[in-house]
Structure 1
Amino acid sequence: MEATLHSHDGHERILSYNGKLLIFQIRQIKGTPNISERTFLNFFKKKFDAVSQKFIEHAKVEYSFSDTKSEITIVLARCVADSRTQLILPCVLLKTCIKNSSAGKCSLLLFHDSDEVECSLKFRMDIDSVQDLQICDGPTVIWRHNDKLVYISQVSPAVITTSFSLFAINWAGTVNGEEIIILGALKTIFSEGTEITNGFNLDHTLQGTEFIVYSIEKQRTISGSCFLPHAYSSVLRCLQVCMMGKEDDKYRTSVLAASSKQLIWLHNGIPKEVCQLPFENPFKLQVASTSQGDLFIISFTSGDVCAIWKDSFKIAANWQQVQVALVDDFIGKGSDQILLLFKNETSHESGVQSFKLTDCCEINYPTEECNITERKSDDDDLQENRLLTIQALESRLQAGLLSLQELQHHLETKHKVLRSSCEALIDIVQGKETAVPCAEKEGLVSLWDDYECNIFPNISEPIIPSPTTECIVESVWQRVVDDFLVIGIKISKSVYSSLSNICLSLILDQTFGAVSPVIKCHTKELRSVIGPYIESRVVFLTEPTAKKQKVSIPEDSLERPSSVPYEDDLRNTVTAVTNLSSLLALNKTSCVLLLHARRENQTDGIDKSEMLILPCGRISLSTEDVLKGIYTVNISEHCQGSLEDIFAVFSLFLKGSFHIFSPDCTLTSVNIWLLGYMQGEPVRQIPEMICSHKPGGLKGTLLIWNPKTPCEGNLTIFHRNPAVLIQCLHSLKRVLPPTAIMNIVQHEGMDNLTDNLAQSVEEELLSLRSALSTAASEVEKDLTLRYKTKMMPSNTMNYEPDTKEHVQKYRDELQTERKQSMLGVHLTANNSLYRQNVLKLAGIQINSDRIAGKLATLSL
């Protein structure tokens, strides 16, 4: 990014380069009888210091001229790319001419990072007749002379005057760092009888301008409409090409253009955004990539500058009396800032005094604190507090580093144990011998009861269930529901009652490269999912005559039969749900099913528990089986399927239970809603359950209605997603009596208790924080009142002469109380407030302990 300081005398220019200020000054030393007149070009580098909030001189270079009879001035300064190294370097165009004459020689100087000054070009040029002078990459100097395009570069050191006529040079730059192109305005004249386009003939003469693009290397021209429409050629004041590329001989551009009163954002020649400018006559556009987004910086001839956000195209800030606006990363943050140098404050002798460095958001220099002189404090206690604070922070830092090292050690141990355990598990499934590392060698303590027996039986190919497995697991089945695979096992009735913490895991029968051998799955026990809702269902045979309503379908169709053939299957079935897509990616999959459980044994009247990890069998699945629908369950027709189909659907559906109470009317409308609006039909295998056949999203929804009294009951809904549940409740609310009350029933299962415990602990933390904040506020208020009372003069105080001893005594008392307050001697809370906070916190902690106790009971 660069910007030029506009100076009338031509003796000073300022650029920004790599986050530094570059100041170029022409300095002349008048001659004496013994010493001739000398001219120097001073080159200063200044770097911004955020601490002092000033620009500090970083380097200085002095370049002298041997010609003592000519006047040397700075014409232009810019940062361009050197074609030899492709490095961006600052360069200065100097004019050397005889005094009081416009004709003379021009020199282009390059300033390298090593502070070496190189004279890149020398040529003759009449500055007074030059128009639209610009410096491009190369470096290449381009200008207009008598409406002809003229340029000179390192490739062609001689001045070249083309036959190409231009009315104005609006922009010059490079495409892909190679081809130099010029965007200019060309005068067009259409005489009478000229055919323009589509056979349209002019009957008179037209004059105007249009944009045109000229390539110096290829010496060809194309239309400039890809940059901006020709209609802007008469009103354009300045433009900035933000993005330019070339594809298939077509330019892809993003251009920022400004007229006298408007800023236009164009993409491929099409206007996208327009913003009204706060001032008139802009002459320079810049783009700043700040941390909060891109900013367009517009400089005006009146000395005003404004910034506009690119995203919203709204004005961010305005500044006045600005001599120059620079865009660069001056503080080394990684994003651009805007440096505004105000008028009459930019000379090197006085330094850069009046400036503003900002990004229109977070960064603003100089700050107000910078203008306030720093005062030295004579308070020894304040210095001591600073020292103690630093020591405490150092101690906390050391403790934090030690904790971090311990955590890293624990993490390494965890990875090591997990890796060895996975390897051992894979070896066991494949029937290989393995040695599980002892926990004591890793410095770990087992959370389970240690026992010497081998709980991992060897598995051979193929897996043959052992007698122990056969007496525990009766059957294994699998189903495909939507995008999930459901695997179920039926455990023996005699064994199930002694098992707890039952879960299933799937292990790939063979490794598949980077695929994990353990498949992630979710286990559900159906006796806890739907068992309580079916077992608690009660059907009332009679109702009061005044309240009984007639329904189209008799209620005895909902009654539970005396014999329940599915009860054993429902009580003793455990399912595992896993994502189907990960298995189908392997085309053909074979998995081993492992059963994990804790079994309670009674030996000599002492309860003992042991962990069981038993292989239940193997399942296989292929993409062809899924495409043929061998294991697929149709959710909309699951009410007529087998028990396994219904159990698979239960494993995937969400569950919601609601308590309904009607103090004034009976709830016969619930049965009407089930069998009427929901078009319910009893499930063939489980008649207590109603399956909805209503077309749409409600189809396949399962419902259980458990009336406790004619006016009270529980409704359980098994649904696909929350949207279906909302539809059900919305339709039910319309048929319920107006006075009916519906509440959500939270069952104390493992998942619900976990959520309740987390909520209770969070409430405990918030209550503790609120109590501490309230106590601190009360103590601070009390301390403030106490000091105000102490400092107020008392009318009843006896008069004592203002002796030196009395003043010293009063000063010592104040100093003692100040030290005590700082040490926290008086920071005590009110008794009633303390008791209130303790009782509130104790109540929340008792609730947390109660939930944690229930959760621990279920986990055993």
Structure 2
Amino acid sequence: MSSNEQEKLLSYSGEVLIFQLSQGDLAKEGTAKTSKLHVRRMTFNRSTRTFIQKSTGIFSMHGKHSSFEIICCSCAADFRTGINLPCVLIRRNKKKSVFKYFLLLLHSSNEFEQRMNFTLDYEMKDDIKILNGPSILWRHSRTCFYISSQNDIIISAPVKFSSIKWAGEVENLGTILFGVGEPLSTERESSPGSSKSDYAVWGTEFCAYSIENQKILSGAYFLPHAYGSVVTCIHICATKEVNTELRISLIALTQKNQLIWFQDGVPKSLCQLPFQDPCALQIMASSGGDLLYIVSFRSSDVCAIWKKSFQVASKWQKVKSVLVDDFIGTGTEQLLLVFKDTFSINCLTSFKITDLGNVNYSNDAFDPMENDLFEDNLQENYSLTVQALERRLQIGLASIQELQKHLLLKERILSKSCKALVGLVQGKEYIPPYEEEDILVSLCGDKKHLPHSLNEKLSDTSHDSKHIIEKMWYRVLDDHLVVGVEIKNSFVLLLNDVTLSLLMDQAYTSNPPLIQCKNSVIKLDKVSFPASLSSPCETESAAKRIKLILHNKERKNNFNEQSSEANCIQVFTAVTTLSPLLAFHNFCCIVMLHARWGENSGRFGESCTVPCGRLSLSIEDISSEKYSVTLPEKNQPLKEPMEDLFALLAVFHKFCFQITSPDCTLTSVKTWLLGHMECETVKEFPDSFFCKSLGALHGTFFNWKQKTPFEGILTVYCRNQTALFQCLHNLTQVLPMNCVIKQLKSGSKKFLTNQLALFLEKEIVTLKNFFSSAVSEVESNLTQKCEIIKKSSSSSMLKASSLGAEEATQRIREELQQEKEQIMWGMNLTLSSATYREMTLKVMGVQLKSDLAAQKLNDY
């Protein structure tokens, strides 16, 4: 790099952006000069082990080259679209004490856009950061200033900071500034969670300030105040709000050359760093599933530390720049180390790409190309071999666990059978409890008997009820009686076509009348929050591997099955009108569950009827609102368990909408739900929102699933269409102008298309398999007949040789007739009735699913 150029490096979507500020050509008129900001997009080529230039861009600025300077560059989200874009902050020194700053955004077309500009009478020097918006934060004379591209107004924080340790966004709190402040006595006495020992360290008390809420937070939530004089940099790993108090997990660098992990303000782990004066910290997700902390030092040294062991993994010296991104396109992150090279102008002449595992690339000029290609192939083969061995090891461990379970089950069966046999010899009847009945099998067969009453039927099927039904509940909402049944997780994937029926429980009749009701299935995705943040960076370790999972169908299917079973709650409901039932003073009914066994159950196609229990209601219960659904007010939380919520969803009208935005991200939908609609996130279901605003919209339920940053599915449960129109009217006020809202009748069109394609594929495979088996059966029968004819013909030929001419001719005529019949058999092949019946039933079952999917797609 020449002396008249400035250069900065930035990683963006796997590319390396090189920003250079250089002197332009002389203008044609006068002696005015121009300066140019160049950008080069560089991508890594694995075959040549070099960075190649993909594209370039230029931004011209009027003024002398010496008056411009690149302050910093970073990636930040644009509030207009929600997309992360590279940002460059430029400073121009116009006069002795007048400094002009302007922020440039780089788009995918390599065009620069000037988002903001402002003038200061002093020079920015301390704690300069580019945040989302984009917005700029800096500190001058113990005062923090903030300017956003949304309003272009410089805001000063009321808290005096001697240094800023971290600035970023926290959920429900907005942009937070955290640093060492100048505490006042009133602040110390009023701030919660602080002890007297913290205040003993005067001048080093931590403080946090929320810019959007204009609220001062206690720094004790982040770090103990005693660390204020030694901490140089921190990284927030995870935040959580419990009972209006923040719980924070973070890692911090100190002047004592240490990396410390803090959990809720308490130090948990410590690592001694190998170099002096740490200044910057980055996080990298390795291919092995662990996280790495990348620490940079002012002495141009770098080291990497494992998250799990909190030990130094590797270290490097004479490093010019450190970048973290997916440079080789494998779906995981790698570390790019750009080393100092005084003999080359190009900054990417000496570098190293590594993930401290299977990926290791460097531009060593002394190795021939053949060795590079050989090492690449060897490295790739090594990676694939290790993955295959890990997969086999996992399968082997799973098999061992299954065998252990099987052996334990055998031991239990033998133990219980021995007890039953000893009891039989002693003349005692051994009655096992319900949890033991599943492992005991009758050796002599079941006694068949016909029950004569409903009570006998219920007692006969109580075994299935204990194993299949998780719980049953019922609620009253307006003029509706809602009955809900939850099935155990192990049976969710085994049962199909589940419905509920309500039977009047009357003692004077053996055929109780059926109550008319409406059945529905309610599915909500849930998530299990940990009791405490047990390890740092829990929210960051699960990203980065989407590409690999999408290309692995087996892992994808397993993941979908596990997620649908573990992260989804499914409730079957029946809704009926309550007022006709109250004609009986004490109303009582029996709840029955009807279903068919699925393909994985071993009893495919068989019907299943399970009693769920009895429910009784009286007019006194209705008057006392014993089972009534109560909607929480604005300051009241949702009651647990969630039966009231599911009853609400069963009665309300359901509408599903697909929202698509081609240019902007749909971050405004969640903001609209939490802000304008005054909704509260349901704790058990993070994608669900309950409206607590007063009026007709009170109780409206929303479910927002964002499939991509530009597309999502919004499901609305409301009382009537008037409330729906109000919600849509309010939603259109905050969505982008070119946003498209489309109502879905029975799911997404893409989902229905994929479902139809799967059913048609299954239909073709079923037909192919049965045709193959049928042809094999017919060919086998034909071959047997031909063998019999061949044996008889050979024997007749031997006899014909010893007979006369006329008899031999007659024998030949008979053989020709047999061959003619054989040809007719080959032309008229037939199947057995059992094979044809089995094939017809299977094909009709698959075709029925295809027809239903086609009908849904046609009605879309």
TM-score range (shorter-chain normalised) is: 0.3 to 0.5
TM-score normalized by the length of structure 2: 0.42
The higher relative CO (CA closer than 8 Å, separation ≥ 6) is in 2
Q: Which has the larger radius of gyration?
A: 1
TM-score normalized by the length of structure 1: 0.42
